[in-house]
């Protein structure tokens, strides 16, 4: 069996003919396997959904209980059969519940890794290396310039700024699923025990993480009474990046705009967004980790998708590995 007979792109998403399912479809399909709960991977309206329990829970929080007609929870490492092929879910280390999906048929194994990272993250399961014949890798940060520093150092930078500017509100922009909880958890692990204020859009997902045993400490809603600017002086407020463009954000005391993202590696990106304190904290692999994973996974062929394919394809060429960009539509390049 050739790789493209087992998995290939269709307008709806990555399709598996022998199993008759799609992985992370961008349009509603009869059977969807979902790697993780980010909105560009997990969409509502599919008939049947297979995903980890945590991903299913997250989809229910985001889209309501009716996000699909039926759903099935995949257990880590336990094969499930679809026709002639079997699929297995393995942790991807990206956000809580995120999975790589190994698809096997006729002796050929392809791993669709979804979004993944190799770094330690106290808010989710650690990435598991799954040997395979073809490895599908994301390339969000697939350029040699992206080399994420230790996130502990980034959190320390934030805490230094909080003590240096105790009269200002530190507003940390972080995506609602995964990044926000990770930043909060890393702050707690660094010994920050004051209440952390969160934008309303984060409440439900933070509550959910707490029920899953991720202790985020004391969280309070970042709602301002009129004329109470000084209330948040010296505090850390976490919100979604988009909320910081709202009027809501302009009511805080002389805010320091911080943003937790792998894109913050490049200064011009920080400048364009008006970020004063960039925090290079990413949900994705950096360049070195992408390369290491390609080296370690032992696949003879690499499909590169979801980002800057050309540099990783070039890397594979230099390593004399077969590689090709896999053109999937509908995934956001900018988000993480």
Interface residues with other proteins (CB under 8 A)?
143-147, 149, 157, 161, 164-165, 265-268, 270-271, 275-278, 308, 310-311, 314-315, 318
To the nearest whole angstrom, how small is the minimum distance from the Cβ of residue 197 to other proteins? 22
Name the binder of 308 from Zn ion, other proteins, none, CB < 5-8 A by kind: other proteins
Query: What's the distance, CA 150 to chain centroid?
Result: 17
By C-beta, is 103 or 316 nearer to other proteins? 316
Cα–chain center distance at 254: 30
CB 256, min distance to other proteins, A:
9
Of residues 220 and 267, the one with the C-beta less far from other proteins: 267
Q: Which of other proteins, Zn ion, none binds 209 (CB below 5-8 Å, type-dependent)?
A: none
Q: Residue 320: which of Zn ion, other proteins, none does it interact with, CB under 5 to 8 A by kind?
A: none
Q: How far is the CB of 268 from Zn ion (least distance, A)?
A: 23
* DSSP H or E segment with residue 163: helix 151-164
CB of 209 vs Zn ion, minimal distance in Å: 16
In DSSP terms, which residues pair with 322 in a beta bridge? Answer: 301
- Residue 264 backbone dihedrals phi, psi, to 5 degrees: -70, -5
Using CA atoms of 140, 145, 147, 151 in order, give the dihedral in degrees to the nearest 10.
-80
The CB-of-266 to other proteins minimum distance in angstroms stands at: 6
Q: Rounded to 5 degrees, what are φ and ψ at 86?
A: -120, 150
Q: Which does 38 bind (CB under 5 to 8 A by kind): Zn ion, other proteins, none?
A: Zn ion
**Cα 70-57-127 angle, rounded to 5 deg:** 110
Residue nearer to Zn ion on the CB measure, 264 or 277: 264
Q: What is the DSSP letter of 118?
A: -
Cα–Cα dist 290/113, whole Å: 11
Residue 288 CA to residue 298 CA, distance in Å, equals: 16
C-beta closer to Zn ion: residue 38 or 188? 38
Which residue number, 57 or 115, has a Cβ lying nearer to Zn ion?
115
The helix/strand/coil state of 143 is: coil
Residues that bind Zn ion (CB under 5 A): 38, 115
Angle between helices 179-189 and 151-164 (to 10 degrees): 70
Which among other proteins, Zn ion, none contacts residue 310 (Cβ within 5 to 8 A by kind)?
other proteins
Q: Please choose which of other proteins, Zn ion, none residue 143 contacts, taking the beta carbon within 5 to 8 angstroms, the exact cut-off set by kind.
A: other proteins
* Distance from C-alpha of 24 to C-alpha of 279, rounded to nearest angstrom: 29
CB of residue 94 to Zn ion, shortest distance in Å: 5
Question: In the bound complex, what is the minimum distance in angstroms from residue 310's beta carbon to Zn ion?
Answer: 18
How many angstroms separate the Cα of 330 from the Cα of each of 29, 41, 158, 262, 288?
A: 15, 9, 34, 21, 26
Binding partner of residue 234 among Zn ion, other proteins, none, CB cut-off 5 to 8 Å per kind: none
- 3-state DSSP call for residue 129? coil
């Amino acid at each position: 069996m050739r790789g493209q007979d087992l998995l290939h792109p269709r307008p709806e998403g990555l399709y598996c003919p022998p199993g008759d399912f799609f992985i992370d479809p961008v349009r509603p399909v009869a059977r969807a396997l979902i790697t993780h709960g980010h909105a560009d991977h997990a969409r509502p309206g599919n008939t049947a959904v297979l995903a980890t329990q945590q991903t299913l829970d997250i989809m229910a929080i985001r889209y309501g209980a009716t996000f699909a007609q039926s759903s099935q929870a995949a257990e880590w490492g336990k094969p499930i059969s679809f026709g002639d092929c079997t699929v297995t879910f393995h942790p991807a280390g990206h956000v809580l519940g995120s999975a790589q999906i190994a698809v096997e048929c006729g002796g050929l194994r392809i791993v669709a890794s979804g979004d993944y990272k190799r770094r330690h993250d106290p808010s989710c399961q650690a990435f598991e290396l799954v040997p395979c014949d073809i490895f599908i890798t994301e390339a969000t940060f697939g350029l040699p310039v992206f080399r994420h520093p230790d996130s502990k150092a980034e959190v320390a930078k934030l805490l230094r700024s909080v003590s240096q500017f105790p009269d200002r509100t530190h507003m940390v922009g972080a995506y609602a699923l995964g990044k926000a909880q990770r930043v909060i958890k890393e702050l707690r692990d660094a010994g920050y025990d004051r209440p952390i204020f969160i934008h309303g859009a984060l409440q439900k997902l933070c509550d959910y993480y707490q029920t899953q045993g991720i202790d985020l400490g004391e969280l309070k809603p970042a709602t301002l009474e009129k004329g109470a600017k000084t209330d948040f002086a010296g505090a850390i407020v976490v919100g979604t990046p988009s909320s910081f463009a709202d009027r809501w954000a302009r009511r805080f005391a002389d805010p320091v705009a911080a943003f937790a993202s792998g894109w913050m590696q490049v200064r011009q990106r920080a400048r364009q967004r008006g970020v004063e304190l960039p925090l290079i904290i990413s949900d994705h692999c950096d360049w070195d980790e992408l390369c290491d994973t390609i080296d370690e996974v032992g696949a003879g062929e690499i499909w590169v998708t979801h980002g800057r394919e050309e540099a990783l394809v070039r890397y594979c060429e230099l390593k004399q590995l077969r590689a090709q960009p896999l053109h999937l539509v509908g995934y956001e390049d900018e988000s993480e």
